[in-house]
Chain A
Amino acid sequence: AFLVPAGIIACFLPLSDASSFVVLYIVTSVYFSGVMVRLMLVLAPAACIMSGIALSEAFDVFTRSIKFQLPGVSGNSQNDAGDASSGSVVTQKTDKNEDSVKERPSKKNKKKEKENVEKASIKSQIEKRLLVLPLEASVIAILLLVLLGAFYVVHCVWAAAEAYSAPSIVLTSYSHDGLHVFDDFREAYAWLRHNTEVDDKVASWWDYGYQTTAMANRTVIVDNNTWNNTHIATVGTAMSSPEKAAWEIFNSLDVKYVLVVFGGLVGYSSDDINKFLWMVRIGGGVFPHIKEPDYLRDGQYRIDSQATPTMLNCLMYKLSYYRFVETDGKGFDRVRQTEIGKKYFKLTHFEEVFTTHHWMVRIYKLKPPKNRIRGKAKKSKSKASSTTTSRRSGTRKKNPWH
């Protein structure tokens, strides 16, 4: 991969149509990979081609030096030169690109046109004389190049194992006492699978839809096949609303369990609080009462003491940080690197039924609706309300402000 610039230079030396195409390809793919990192996929073949060209040119030089200087070969240098050059071109074609050539052997190897060979060999012989390196140096250089290739393979395998093979469902980290495994997602799904009723519905953000369906074997409200924007907006609105309104929305969808992913205790940064801005934007796109500026302080989403009251009251905040302060006494969120704003609060419409070992997945259950709906006068004692219930139920609609 680090041979790419050398390859670009090698492409320019005889600038043919093929080599200029490759140069343009690599320049555009570098630009696009810089814009969006996922487009590095496009850069990969271009980089491979370039490095291949560079490596093949290097090998070319060295093997020719060796062949030129081997005793007994220089006698047939005329034929052998031609053969060697054509042979080396054929063998060093590492990728699907046509090599830009210094000599001009034809691609048709089987036809032995003596005149072409003669002409080419004389010309190439003159050129080659100028480029011959000492024998020992070229042997060592070839060995080094082979070793480089071998180490590169080892490095690639290691990089693929370490950086590209992370299944995002099991997280690992290296601590002072070895490997620490965070298997919280599967723990939560296994719990849902075994300890809830078969018909119970689970509401979460759409990222976890397929995982919940496959591993927990429960019905979800929205999943990764995000084809119904209004439905996703409904869930987003529910997550952004205060508890009572969220309970109403979830109850209308017949949801029993709500699942949130919270990375604040262990420092897992792809949790639902970080995705919250999308919940607000998508919800606000369909339901106009969700306004994004309500959640922003100075243009930023915050959850610390400077957060807006709407943010501190929304369901996502409450479900993520419920009793979080009791873990360390201060409620320090490792992902946002700040203490949370509202630390002590109770949930009125939800109850916590399961939290995984590292607090990464938290599952809440909707509380069933109260049997008796009290009026807006919150100061009435229960005895008084029981005697006046019958009267109040008749007069409830008249004057809510007693």
Chain B
Amino acid sequence: MEGLLRLRLALVFSVVAHLSLLVRSSSLSSPELQIVNAERRIDLTSHIVRVYLTLKVENAGTSPASEILLAFPPTQVDRIALVKATATVGKKKKKSYLPLDVNPTDLPDAPNGTKYFSIAFSNPLGMGESVTLEVFYTLTHSQEPFPVEISQSESQLVYYRDSAVILSPYHIKQQITFIKTPSTKVESFTRVEPTDRAGIELKYGPYDDHPPYSFSPIIVHFENNNPFAVVEELVREVEISHWGSLQITEHYKLVNAGARHKGIFSRVEYQSRQSLSGVSSFKHLLARLPPRVHSAYYRDDIGNISSSHLRTDSRKSEMEIEPRYPLFGGWKATFVIGYGLPLQDFLFESPDGRRYLNFSFGCPLAETVVDKLTIKVVLPEGSQNPSAVVPFPVKEHLETSYSYLDVVGRTVVVLEKNNVVPEHNSPFQVYYNFNPIFMLAEPMMLASAFFLFFMACVAYLHVDLSIRK
């Protein structure tokens, strides 16, 4: 009798537990998907943090899933510059990658203000099916220098904050994180067992069976002497002239965003002991330009800066620029780079009769972050219906600018974007309509002006205005 009562109680209890489990699981945001295996590689070798995430996702639910969510803590999401995702298709030798759409989303009941990016599957993931996704995202300004101020002979140490466990709205069965530092000098790192360190790689994991939204913060304090070149503001002006050339002018405000330089700057130490002194400063910057560049100049407010080299070959041009002084932490420099390019490499005609400019977005300087990028495409006079097609979200508006021999003004398409990294250097297009008759506008204007002037002279000389004969 008693045993039967206990058995019935246990049965009721388990039923209630299962029911509650069911209820709880159904109230979560996306209950069906489960991450079987997650591997994350964080690359800290440059001042731009690059994270490669490999997720093996399984649909353990009852209905096909069309998207998967990536979660980020609110402090990190402001600094994300780029998120890309591809799906791996095929087995070992015949792997191919399909790019997938990634969009930021928001869920109303997100715990602690988590922000999400949703990746849409190319075909919905059926029940019991699994797929492997490769996600890549970059973070800027995520390595904060500590100590905040260093002297000339010290090297730069930075903090990187993240979580040992991948933040995700799904249950992760198995996960492991690798962190790669630029050198073997790591001051300290938070241990979340099992943690291991070998040379330049830190391993966190493998961790098993972590519930959704688990987060364990870690801090890695390491040395990073790579140049922290940040362009605070970049204005790129691309002027299209149908007479055969494209003229580009770029205005830079460059700063060294590493640990601020305090105290003296001794030139003798900088010049004599280069490996020990000013290790976190940089002197050279490399700008990668398209081939066949001509009339390149490099100047600032004061005048021409003579320390630059331009090397061209048939596939690319490289301009190595040296600001007037080496940039230590917190030091700024502003300059203007300009160059011309042949128009036939960049201006094309689309099948529907509109012309379009195919040019690369982003900053030509290598390994630099741009806080605020503005690209202005100045279309020739008489262009109509301008529109821009850019592979990532930008703010767009139109302006008018007046240049030589302009009557109505030229339309300018202005594109603005914050937080630009070198991975953004992909081509974008600006479409516009242009009636070829308008090419004659300028020469006709000049010719008619001179013609009228000469006619007036001739008339004046031959007109007889005398009153008396």
- Give B306's nearest chain A residue, CB to CB: A181
Q: Do A353 and B324 touch (CB < 8 A)?
A: no
Q: In the complex, A187 Cα to B326 Cα: how many Å?
A: 10
Q: Do B266 and A323 touch (CB < 8 A)?
A: yes
Q: In the complex, A193 Cα to B266 Cα: how many Å?
A: 19
Task: Tell me the smallest distance from the CB of A390 to a CB of chain B, in Å.
Answer: 31
* Chain B proximity mask over A310-326: 1 for CB below 8 Å, otherwise 0: 00000000000001101
Q: Is residue A154 within 8 Å, beta carbon to beta carbon, of the partner chain?
A: no
Q: Do B334 and A194 touch (CB < 8 A)?
A: yes
Q: Is residue A210 within 8 Å, beta carbon to beta carbon, of the partner chain?
A: no
- Give A347's nearest chain B residue, CB to CB: B264
Report which of A193, A215, A324, A354 forms a contact with B265, defined as CB distance below 8 A: A354
Q: Is residue A190 within 8 Å, beta carbon to beta carbon, of the partner chain?
A: yes
* Chain A proximity mask over B169-180: 1 for CB below 8 Å, otherwise 0: 000000000000
Question: Considering residues B300, B306, B307, which has the most beta carbons from chain A within 10 angstroms of its beta carbon?
Answer: B306
Q: Is residue B303 within 8 Å, beta carbon to beta carbon, of the partner chain?
A: yes
Q: Do A189 and B267 touch (CB < 8 A)?
A: no
Q: In the complex, A189 Cα to B305 Cα: how many Å?
A: 13
Q: In the complex, A278 Cα to B268 Cα: how many Å?
A: 29
* Chain A proximity mask over B264-292: 1 for CB below 8 Å, otherwise 0: 11111001100000000000000000000
Q: Do B267 and A190 touch (CB < 8 A)?
A: no
Question: Which residues on A sit within 8 Å (CB–CB) of B266?
Answer: 323, 352, 355
Question: Which residues on B sit within 8 Å (CB–CB) of A356?
Answer: 267, 325
Q: Do B306 and A326 touch (CB < 8 A)?
A: no
Question: Which residues on A sit within 8 Å (CB–CB) of B268?
Answer: 323-324, 326-327, 355
Q: Do B325 and A351 touch (CB < 8 A)?
A: no
Q: Do B265 and A190 touch (CB < 8 A)?
A: no
Q: Do A190 and B325 touch (CB < 8 A)?
A: yes
Q: In the complex, A351 Cα to B331 Cα: how many Å?
A: 18
Question: Which residues on A sit within 8 Å (CB–CB) of B307?
Answer: 181, 183
Question: Which residues on A sit within 8 Å (CB–CB) of B267?
Answer: 352, 354-357, 359
Q: Is residue B333 within 8 Å, beta carbon to beta carbon, of the partner chain?
A: yes
Q: Is residue A191 within 8 Å, beta carbon to beta carbon, of the partner chain?
A: yes
Report which of A181, A193, A194, A351 forms a contact with B264, defined as CB distance below 8 A: A351
* Chain A proximity mask over B356-373: 1 for CB below 8 Å, otherwise 0: 000000000000000000
Q: Do B324 and A190 touch (CB < 8 A)?
A: yes
Q: In the complex, A392 Cα to B333 Cα: how many Å?
A: 49
Report which of A186, A195, A355 forms a contact with B303, defined as CB distance below 8 A: A186
- Give A215's nearest chain B residue, CB to CB: B302
- Give B270's nearest chain A residue, CB to CB: A355
How many chain-B residues does the 8 Å CB contact rule pick out? 22
How many chain A residues sit at the interface, stated as a range, is: 20 to 34
Q: In the complex, A181 Cα to B305 Cα: how many Å?
A: 10
Report which of B272, B302, B303, B324 forms a contact with A326, defined as CB distance below 8 A: B272
* Chain A proximity mask over B122-157: 1 for CB below 8 Å, otherwise 0: 000000000000000000000000000000000000
- Give A169's nearest chain B residue, CB to CB: B303
Q: Do B333 and A190 touch (CB < 8 A)?
A: yes
Query: Which B residues from 300 to 351 make CB contacts under 8 A with A?
Result: 300-303, 305-307, 324-325, 330-334
Task: Tell me the smallest distance from the CB of B21 to a CB of chain A, in Å.
Answer: 63
Q: Do B264 and A187 touch (CB < 8 A)?
A: no
Q: Is residue B111 within 8 Å, beta carbon to beta carbon, of the partner chain?
A: no
Query: Which A residues from 176 to 190 make CB contacts under 8 A with B?
Result: 181, 183, 186-187, 189-190
Q: Is residue B108 within 8 Å, beta carbon to beta carbon, of the partner chain?
A: no
Question: Which residues on B sit within 8 Å (CB–CB) of A191?
Answer: 324-325, 331
Q: Do B325 and A187 touch (CB < 8 A)?
A: yes
Q: In the complex, A195 Cα to B300 Cα: how many Å?
A: 15
Interface of B is mostly: loop
Given contacts A186-B324, A327-B268, A356-B325, contact A351 B263 (CB under 8 A): yes
Q: Do B333 and A355 touch (CB < 8 A)?
A: no
Report which of B272, B300, B306, B330 forms a contact with A190, defined as CB distance below 8 A: B300
Question: Which residues on A sit within 8 Å (CB–CB) of B333?
Answer: 190, 194
- Give B255's nearest chain A residue, CB to CB: A194
Q: In the complex, A327 Cα to B266 Cα: how many Å?
A: 12
Question: Which residues on B sit within 8 Å (CB–CB) of A355?
Answer: 265-268
Question: Which residues on B sit within 8 Å (CB–CB) of A326?
Answer: 268, 272
Q: Do B332 and A352 touch (CB < 8 A)?
A: no
Q: In the complex, A190 Cα to B332 Cα: how many Å?
A: 10
Query: Which A residues from 317 to 367 make CB contacts under 8 A with B?
Result: 323-324, 326-327, 351-357, 359
Task: Tell me the smallest distance from the CB of B413 to a CB of chain A, in Å.
Answer: 31
- Give B271's nearest chain A residue, CB to CB: A327
Q: In the complex, A191 Cα to B300 Cα: how many Å?
A: 12
Question: Which residues on A sit within 8 Å (CB–CB) of B332?
Answer: 194-195
Question: Which residues on B sit within 8 Å (CB–CB) of A170?
Answer: 306
Task: Tell me the smallest distance from the CB of A165 to a CB of chain B, in Å.
Answer: 15
Question: Which residues on B sit within 8 Å (CB–CB) of A353?
Answer: 264-265
Q: In the complex, A184 Cα to B239 Cα: how many Å?
A: 34
- Give A358's nearest chain B residue, CB to CB: B267
* Chain A proximity mask over B68-104: 1 for CB below 8 Å, otherwise 0: 0000000000000000000000000000000000000
Q: Do A183 and B306 touch (CB < 8 A)?
A: yes
Question: Which residues on A sit within 8 Å (CB–CB) of B272?
Answer: 326-327
Question: Which residues on A sit within 8 Å (CB–CB) of B305?
Answer: 183
Q: In the complex, A186 Cα to B305 Cα: how many Å?
A: 9
Q: In the complex, A187 Cα to B267 Cα: how many Å?
A: 13
Given contacts A194-B333, A326-B272, A356-B325, contact A186 B265 (CB under 8 A): no
* Chain B proximity mask over A358-394: 1 for CB below 8 Å, otherwise 0: 0100000000000000000000000000000000000
Question: Which residues on A sit within 8 Å (CB–CB) of B330?
Answer: 195
* Chain A proximity mask over B421-457: 1 for CB below 8 Å, otherwise 0: 0000000000000000000000000000000000000
Question: Which residues on A sit within 8 Å (CB–CB) of B331?
Answer: 191, 194-195
Question: Considering residues B267, B272, B300, B305, which has the most beta carbons from chain A within 10 angstroms of its beta carbon?
Answer: B267
> Which of B's residues lie within 8 Å of A, judged by CB?
263-268, 271-272, 300-303, 305-307, 324-325, 330-334
Which 3 interchain pairs have the tightest Cβ spacing? A355-B267, A187-B324, A194-B332
Would you give 17 A-B contacts (Cβ < 8 Å), ordered by A? Answer: A186-B303, A190-B302, A190-B324, A191-B324, A191-B331, A195-B332, A323-B268, A326-B272, A327-B272, A352-B264, A352-B266, A354-B265, A355-B266, A356-B267, A356-B325, A357-B267, A359-B267
Given contacts A181-B307, A191-B324, 6 further A-B contacts (CB under 8 A): A190-B325, A195-B331, A195-B332, A353-B264, A354-B325, A357-B267
